[in-house]
């Protein structure tokens, strides 16, 4: 029996090719993402482990802001001397390292990375842990001298002797590049500027007695853990410091980077998931068709005495072989994919070495589990069907076997699952709490997707009758035959279209959600923004005070309102402690923004010792106007603030700013000292035109490439672009889903062509031209693809509308359906159909007429 | 012994009486040592308005002859004409058009497109050509074949005999110059087979059609006007106004010859001698 299985596998290897490709793609993405993230993790673990001091003393990091504040927390530099006296300490150093800077060259161009990686300014203090060494020039001495890392110097064409401007929080200063430092370890992609220690403290922190951390070297024979305890005992661990051993420091540094790496990993796994999901349909179809074509052969096996179990096992063994071959190739492809990603990261400035690629044991295990598992599961149903082939099938004409089986079970299961799914979606739309609404949405999406997949074949007849309805009129009998061919085996058509449906449903839903978000933000901006211009960084990073000063001094500027952010934790009357981020504004806020209040007004909200919050959030937590709330700020600073106003903007939460808290900018300046402005709202002075002011502002901001002037339209575009990033990701997922779906359509058509060999031969014999034959197959492909697209987009629209209901709870109340996108996708799916039909059509038209009609 | 080739020198036959014609028609498979001659320089004339049967044992080349005459297969050497048109050397597109417009086909099985109903199958060649069928003629064909109440049925809803009648109707519907029927009764029971043969006979007698039927059933061949006997790629005999017994008798002699030879078809010459 095994021999027969092997023979059959080898005999059908051409027909299994596309299924194998689907397995390869899925496995490649799984393996690639694991290898890539393992490699990156190990590279950075090594980097951090080798660069971390034995013990590090840092400012306590209790509150983390989701919005950057531009402030750098510090420790007293004198702490280094204090720690040096602890027994077992060999040496200490007061480090300075800040990321809230911008470095520009003489042409006012930023020399920082364009990838979102930070520009870091630090003190030049060479130890055996330093990730860099001086490769040319000399160490910086005194103010006005600096080193630059070699990669940045190369990329931005900076040479020794060039002058750069460092825009730090205390103020800008010019430095001459006197040397180049080269990474001895992996460069994580940041730009590094080194200053001498004294200059670093005064110019970067604005205080010669502060440092950003204290690094401690242990004496011989003293372990890091022991030293940590001693240091903690000497300076008090519970207070305002975090004390970490080298291991802990490396781990927390890796965790910070991990967030970014996780994104890449999850995106990759998302691709793998889509590939698996879509690939399953392809494999199910292939096995179903192979079995349909082999009904006679299976019947013969049964007639010769093979029992059902043996037949089923034979099919599943074939699936196993396919899975093994696919997984092995997929693993190889995954390694290739990882190499590609590593190269890509290198292009972005993160120097990873492909030679140091890590393949941990879970990678091949995952690859084979996914590859073999998927194939096995996908082949299981067809295998069971194969086992039910009766011995009589060997004798009967097998042409129509398996086509007419009723779809009753599918109808029942599909409608039950669908009903639950629709109920979940309805519940999602009706829910008033974001969390429950979102989980109902998730449940509804999964269930309706499953229901559509199950019931898909039932929708084939009615929908393809409509979609291909014009074919007979437009294309005559060729059109009629193609439409009916698509209707011929609803299961097959359904499964083929389902592959396309999955991807397009996702896109449909996401595009409705993002269009709705954009529209909501537009409405919000229209409603609230009253400023002529908004000045901010494209990625909302705060900027130095000089910018604010220069803008204020610009001719034609009437009013400037600053906005800053502060992370805080607030203890609410219902006993809850909520960590969030609050905004601080200058008092003439009403001139640049239209804020609706349920109680109070801007003056009472921004008054000293007061704050405002969203009225719904207040209601939920039993906050009233006049409530006094204990508030914690970073660095252990605490205070009590009185609720001075309740705003009613309809936009509670979102972007980590739960509760919509805001207060006077003085509060931020007091409790988050050394912060930077995030946004400037600017109004023109009377008598100054907007165009005139814009020109003046552009001139003022020329030396500050990190900030831009935006009017209302530009500001909307900025928001749209941010939302679009999400969409690009979805489009990339869609691209992959479509590639596999096309493989699926190609697969189905190719196998159908083989199945219909005699029919095609007959058509050719009685005079169907090759072009007509190709058109027939193309039309069938188009109608299947459009069917999948319509089904997917229909589902996606429903999801999108429900998702918008969830967003509405977050204040994004507008619903927008991007019809142009949707129509473009339908047209695109027709193109997909045409492309998918190319090879099968060519193959059919090349078919030997005689071989096709021969019966001797 | 007289072969058709002896009667008609090349180019002499009046085109008006000849539906199809082959001269030196040779079809070889493979190359070099392993070459197998399916047709060996066959000369044949198919008369217009007659029912010609081609008989021969399996592997005699009778199907190959039909395929070459119908423009389904290429020839290795020789010439083939359909009416006045030389079809050897025509491109695929021209051949396709020729089959569509001037030839009707009936095969042993799988004659109909399963997704089309009977009426659509009957008019398929004309639909493909984008031509309107002659409704009066079509009605006559449909009524003659007794398919009036089966027109909306799909092939799977028709019996084997009904399916062959639909195929017959399709072959007749476009009034082709020549109908090729390849074992049209091979898959039918004797009653349905007789029915189909009767229709083909009627098409020749009543409608003036020309029919070439390939068969190995002497009973079927007996319905024809002329039987051509093929053996090892050559026309070895012919029989006017055949009877089933006569044909059977003739066929037995092939079997005898084969039995004596007990060898590969390379011994073509021997067979020829015996005839």
Chain A hits for B107, CB-CB cut-off 8 Å, are 762, 765, 853, 855
Say which residues have a Cβ less than 8 Å from residue A246's Cβ, sequence separation at least 6: A49, A52, A53, A54, A55, A56, A224
| Minimum mean pLDDT range among A192-206, A840-854, B119-133 | A840-854
Min distance B129 CA to chain A CA atoms (Å): 8
pLDDT exceeds 60 at position A396: no
Chain A residue with minimum CA distance to B98? A767
Distance CA A647, CA A597 (A): 4
**Rounded distance, CA A498 to CA A285, Å?**
11
Res B274: pLDDT:
34
Average confidence (pLDDT) over B150-166: 89
Higher per-residue pLDDT: B8 or A452: A452
What is the rounded average pLDDT of the residues A102-107? Answer: 88
Residue with tokens 């050719």: A764
Nearest-neighbour CA in chain B from A476: distance (Å): 7
Confidence bin at B7 (pLDDT 50/70/90): very low
- In the predicted structure, residue A748 carries a pLDDT above the cut 70: yes
Nearest neighbour of A762 by CB, restricted to B58, B111, B115: B111
Residues 6+ apart with CB under 8 A from A430: none
CATH code for the structural domain at B48-72+90-262: 3.40.50.300
Closest approach of chain A CAs to the CA of B121, in angstroms? 10
Query: Which CA distances in Å does B270 have to B2, B237, B258, B259, B262?
Result: 18, 15, 10, 12, 12
What average pLDDT does the segment A311-319 reach?
85
Read off the pLDDT of each residue in A659-671 and give the average, rounded to a whole number.
88
Give me A425's structure tokens: 């979606």
Q: What is the pLDDT of residues A840-855, one digit of tens each?
A: 999 888 887 777 666 5
Its pTM surpasses 0.80 = no
In total, the C-beta contacts within 8 angstroms joining chain A to chain B are: 83
Q: Rounded to whole angstroms, how far apart are CA atoms A761 and A187?
A: 64
A776 → chain B, closest CA residue = B128
Which pLDDT value is given to residue B266?
Answer: 42
Closest residue to B128, CB basis, from A772, A853, A856: A772
- For tokens 């055996």, name the residue: A128
Interface test with A, best of B114, B154, B163 (most A CBs within 10 A): B114
Sheet strands (E) in A96-161 = 97-98, 102-104, 119-123, 132-137, 145-149
- The answer to whether B27 faces chain A, any CB pair under 8 Å, is no
3-state SS assignment for residue A611: strand
Q: Is the pLDDT of residue A729 over 70?
A: yes
Give the integer Cα–Cα distance in Å for A153 and A140. Answer: 16
pLDDT more than 90, % of chain B:
25
Best of B124, B131, B170, B173 to mutate (most A CBs within 10 Å, chain A): B124
d(CA A685, CA A690): 10
Rg (alpha carbons) of chain A, rounded to whole number: 33
pLDDT at position B13, please? Answer: 41
Residue A62: predicted pLDDT: 72
Name the residue among A762, A764, A767 with its Cβ closest to that of B110.
Answer: A762
In contact, A238 and A232? CB cutoff 8 Å = no
Instruction: Give the distance from residue B5's alpha carbon to the nearest chain A alpha carbon, in angstroms.
Output: 27
Q: Would an 8 Å CB–CB cutoff place B113 in contact with chain A?
A: yes
**Nearest CB to B124: which of A766, A769, A855?**
A766
Q: Taking residues A467-473, what's their average pLDDT?
A: 84
Residue A783: band (very low, low, confident or very high) from pLDDT cuts 50, 70, 90: very high
Q: Which residue has the tokens 């205080």?
A: A207
CB contact under 8 A, B125 and A767: yes
* Mutation target among A461, A765, A771 for the B interface, most CBs of B within 10 A: A765
Q: Which pLDDT tens digit goes with each residue over A362-379? A: 889 989 998 999 888 888
From B93, B100, B107, residue closest to A853, measured CB to CB:
B107
Handedness of CA A477, A479, A485, A488 (dihedral sign): negative
Query: Cβ separation of A759 and B125 shorter than 8 Å?
Result: no
DSSP secondary-structure letter at A539? T
Point out the residue among B63, B110, B128 whose CB comes nearest to the CB of A768: B128
- Residues in chain A within 8 Å Cβ distance of B170: 766
Question: B135 at the A interface (CB within 8 A)?
Answer: no
What confidence category does residue B14 fall into, taking pLDDT thresholds of 50, 70 and 90? very low
Q: How much is the pLDDT for A35?
A: 87
Closest chain A residue to B104 measured between Cα atoms? A766
Number of residues that this document lists for chain B: 275
Q: Where are the domains of chain A?
A: 1-54+259-402, 61-239, 459-531+712-856, 533-710
pLDDT of residue A163: 92
Band of the pLDDT at A432, cuts 50, 70, 90?
Answer: confident
User: Which of A480, A759, A767 is nearest residue B114 as measured by Cβ atoms?
Assistant: A759
Q: Does B29 touch chain A (CB under 8 A)?
A: no
The verdict on a CB contact (< 8 Å) between A766 and B170 is: yes
* B111 shares contact with chain A (CB less than 8 Å): yes
- Per cent of chain A over pLDDT 90 is 14
pLDDT of residue A224: 87
Residue A766: closest CA among chain B residues belongs to which residue?
B100
Which of A475, A760, A767 to mutate to test binding with chain B, by most B CBs within 10 Å of its CB? A767
More confident residue, A306 or A555: A555
Mean pLDDT of the region A277-298: 80
Candidate from B58, B67, B125 with C-beta closest to A766: B125
In the prediction, which pLDDT does A790 show? Answer: 93
Using CB atoms, pick whichever of B67, B113, B123 lies closest to residue A763: B113
Chain A interface, best mutation among B98, B107, B163, B179, by max A CB count within 10 A = B107
**pLDDT value at B268 more than 70:** no
Q: Indicate the SS3 state at residue A176.
A: strand
Mean per-residue pLDDT over chain A, rounded: 84
How buried is residue B105: exposed, middle or buried, by Cβ count under 10 Å (0-12/13-18/19+)?
buried
Which one has a higher pLDDT value, A351 or A448?
A448
Task: Find residue A172's DSSP bridge partners.
Answer: A167
pLDDT tens profile A129-151: 888 888 999 999 988 899 999 88
Backbone angles phi, psi at A149, to 5 degrees: -75, 150
Backbone angles phi, psi at A360, to 5 degrees: -80, 160
B contacts of A477 (beta carbons < 8 Å): 116, 120, 123-124, 127-128
pLDDT at A9 over 50: yes
Positive/negative CA dihedral, A314, A320, A325, A326: positive
Q: Do B97 and A488 touch (CB under 8 A)?
A: no
- A717's tokens: 């575009």
- Asked whether the beta carbons of residue A769 and residue B110 sit closer than 8 angstroms, the reply is no
pLDDT at B2 over 50: no
Contacts of B129 in chain A (CB under 8 A): 767
Predicted complex ipTM: 0.81
Q: What is the pLDDT of residue A397?
A: 52
Cβ pair A272, A30 in contact under 8 A? yes
CB-CB neighbors (< 8 A) of B123 in chain A: 477
The stretch A544-570 carries a mean pLDDT of 89
Question: By the 8 A CB rule, do A175 and A163 touch?
Answer: yes
Alpha carbons A229 and A672: distance in angstroms, whole number: 30
Query: Of the segments A179-188, A250-259, A759-768, which one has the largest average pLDDT value?
Result: A759-768
- Measured CA to CA, the distance from residue A384 to residue A761 in angstroms comes to 32
Residue labelled with tokens 């050559």: B234
pLDDT of residue A855: 53
Task: Name the residue with tokens 């949405």.
Answer: A441
**pLDDT attached to residue B267:** 39
Distance from CA of A794 to the nearest CA of B (A): 29
Using the beta-carbon criterion (under 8 Å), do B108 and A855 form an inter-chain contact? yes
Distance, in Å, from the CA atom of A848 to the CA atom of B73, rounded to the nearest integer, reads: 9
């Amino acid at each position: 029996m095994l021999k027969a299985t092997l023979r059959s596998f080898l005999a059908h290897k051409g027909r299994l090719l596309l299924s194998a490709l689907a397995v390869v793609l899925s496995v490649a993405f799984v393996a690639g993402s694991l290898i890539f993230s393992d490699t990156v993790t190990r590279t950075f673990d090594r980097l951090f482990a080798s660069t971390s001091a034995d013990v590090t003393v840092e400012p306590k990091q209790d509150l983390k802001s989701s919005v950057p504040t531009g402030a750098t927390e510090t420790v007293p530099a004198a702490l280094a001397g204090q720690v040096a006296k602890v027994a077992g300490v060999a040496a200490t150093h007061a480090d300075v390292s800040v990321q809230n800077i911008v470095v520009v060259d003489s042409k006012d161009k930023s020399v920082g990375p364009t990838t979102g990686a930070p520009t870091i300014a630090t003190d030049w203090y060479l130890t055996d842990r330093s990730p860099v060494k001086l490769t040319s020039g000399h160490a910086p001495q005194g103010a006005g001298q600096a080193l630059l890392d070699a990669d940045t110097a190369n990329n931005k064409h900076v040479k020794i002797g060039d002058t750069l401007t460092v825009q730090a929080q205390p103020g800008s200063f010019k430095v001459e590049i006197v040397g180049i430092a080269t990474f001895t370890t992996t460069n994580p992609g940041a730009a590094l500027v080194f200053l001498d220690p004294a200059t670093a403290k005064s110019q970067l922190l604005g205080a010669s007695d502060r440092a950003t951390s204290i690094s401690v070297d242990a004496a011989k024979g003293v372990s890091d853990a022991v030293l940590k305890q001693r240091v903690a005992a000497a300076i008090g661990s519970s207070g305002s410091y975090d004390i970490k051993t080298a291991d802990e420091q490396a781990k927390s540094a890796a965790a910070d980077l991990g967030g970014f790496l996780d994104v890449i990993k999850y995106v990759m796994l998302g691709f793998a998931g889509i590939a698996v999901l879509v690939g399953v349909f392809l494999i199910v179809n292939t096995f179903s068709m192979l079995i349909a074509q082999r009904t006679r052969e299976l019947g013969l096996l049964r007639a010769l005495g093979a029992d059902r179990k043996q037949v089923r096992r034979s099919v599943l063994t074939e699936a196993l072989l396919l899975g093994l071959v696919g997984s092995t190739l997929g693993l190889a492809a995954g390694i290739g994919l990882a190499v590609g990603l590593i190269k890509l990261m290198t292009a972005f400035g993160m120097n990873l070495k492909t030679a140091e690629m890590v393949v941990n044991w879970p990678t091949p295990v995952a690859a084979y589990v996914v590859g073999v598992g998927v194939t096995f599961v996908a082949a299981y149903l067809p295998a069971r069907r194969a086992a039910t082939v009766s011995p009589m099938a060997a004798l009967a004409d097998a042409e129509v076997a398996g086509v007419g089986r009723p779809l009753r079970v599918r109808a029942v299961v599909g409608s039950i699952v669908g009903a639950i799914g629709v109920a979940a979606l309805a519940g999602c739309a009706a829910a008033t709490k974001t969390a429950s609404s979102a989980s109902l949405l998730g449940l509804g999406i999964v269930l309706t997707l499953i229901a559509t997949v199950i019931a898909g074949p039932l929708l084939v007849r009615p929908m393809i009758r409509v979609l291909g309805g014009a074919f007979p009129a437009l294309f005559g009998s060729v059109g009629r035959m193609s439409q009916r061919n698509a209707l011929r085996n609803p299961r097959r058509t359904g499964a083929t279209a389902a592959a396309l449906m999955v991807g397009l449903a996702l896109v449909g839903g996401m595009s409705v959600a993002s269009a709705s978000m954009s529209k909501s933000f537009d409405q919000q901006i229209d409603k609230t923004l009253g400023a002529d211009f908004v000045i901010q960084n494209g990625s909302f990073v705060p900027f130095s005070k000089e910018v604010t000063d220069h803008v204020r001094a610009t001719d034609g500027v009437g009013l400037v309102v600053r906005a800053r952010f502060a992370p805080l934790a607030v203890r609410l009357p219902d006993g809850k402690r909520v960590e969030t981020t609050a905004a601080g504004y200058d008092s003439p806020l009403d001139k640049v923004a239209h804020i609706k209040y349920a109680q109070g007004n801007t003056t009472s909200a921004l008054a000293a010792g007061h704050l405002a919050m969203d009225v719904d959030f207040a209601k939920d937590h039993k906050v009233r106007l006049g409530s006094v709330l204990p508030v914690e700020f970073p660095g252990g600073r605490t205070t009590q603030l009185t609720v001075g106003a309740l705003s009613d903007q309809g936009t509670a939460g979102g972007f980590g700013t739960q509760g919509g808290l805001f207060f006077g900018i003085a509060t931020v300046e007091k409790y988050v000292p050394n912060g930077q402005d995030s946004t400037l709202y600017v109004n023109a002075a009377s008598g100054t035109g907007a165009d005139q002011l814009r020109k003046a502002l552009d001139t003022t901001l020329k030396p500050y490439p990190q900030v831009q002037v935006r009017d209302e339209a530009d500001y909307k575009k900025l928001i749209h672009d941010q939302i679009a990033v999400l969409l690009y990701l979805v489009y990339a997922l869609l691209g992959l889903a479509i590639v596999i779906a096309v493989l699926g359509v190609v697969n189905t058509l190719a196998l159908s062509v083989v199945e219909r060999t005699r029919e095609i031969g007959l058509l050719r014999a009685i005079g169907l031209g090759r072009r007509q034959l190709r058109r027939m197959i193309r039309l069938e492909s188009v109608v299947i693809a459009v069917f999948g697209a319509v089904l997917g987009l229909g589902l996606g629209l429903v999801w999108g509308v429900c998702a918008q209901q969830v967003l509405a709870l977050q204040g994004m109340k507008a619903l927008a359906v991007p019809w142009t996108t949707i129509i473009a996708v339908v047209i695109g799916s027709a193109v997909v159909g045409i492309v998918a039909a190319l090879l099968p059509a060519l193959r059919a038209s090349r078919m030997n007429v005689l071989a096709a009609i021969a019966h001797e | 012994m007289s072969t058709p080739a002896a009667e008609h020198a090349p180019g002499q036959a009046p085109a008006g009486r000849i539906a199809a014609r082959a001269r030196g028609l040779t079809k070889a498979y493979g190359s070099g040592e392993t070459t197998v001659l399916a047709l060996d320089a066959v000369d044949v004339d198919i008369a217009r308005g007659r029912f010609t049967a081609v008989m021969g044992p399996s592997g005699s080349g009778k199907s190959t002859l039909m395929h070459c005459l119908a423009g389904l297969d290429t020839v290795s050497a020789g010439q083939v004409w359909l009416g006045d048109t030389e079809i050897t050397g025509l491109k695929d597109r021209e051949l396709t058009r020729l089959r569509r417009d001037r030839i009707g086909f009936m095969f042993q099985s799988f004659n109909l497109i399963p997704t089309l109903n009977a009426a659509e199958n009957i008019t398929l060649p004309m639909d493909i050509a984008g031509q309107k069928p002659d409704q009066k003629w079509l009605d006559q064909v449909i009524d003659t074949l007794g398919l009036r109440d089966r027109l909306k049925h799909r092939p799977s809803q028709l019996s084997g005999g009904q399916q062959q009648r639909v195929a017959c109707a399709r072959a007749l519907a476009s009034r082709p110059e020549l109908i090729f029927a390849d074992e049209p009764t091979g898959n039918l029971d004797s009653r349905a087979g007789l029915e189909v043969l009767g229709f083909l006979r009627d098409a020749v007698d009543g409608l003036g059609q020309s029919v070439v039927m390939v068969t190995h059933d002497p009973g079927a061949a007996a319905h024809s006007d002329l039987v051509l006997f093929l053996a090892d790629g050559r026309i070895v005999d012919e029989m006017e106004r055949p009877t089933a017994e006569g044909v059977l008798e003739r066929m037995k002699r092939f079997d005898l010859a084969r039995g004596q030879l007990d060898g590969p078809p390379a011994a073509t010459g021997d067979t020829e001698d015996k005839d």
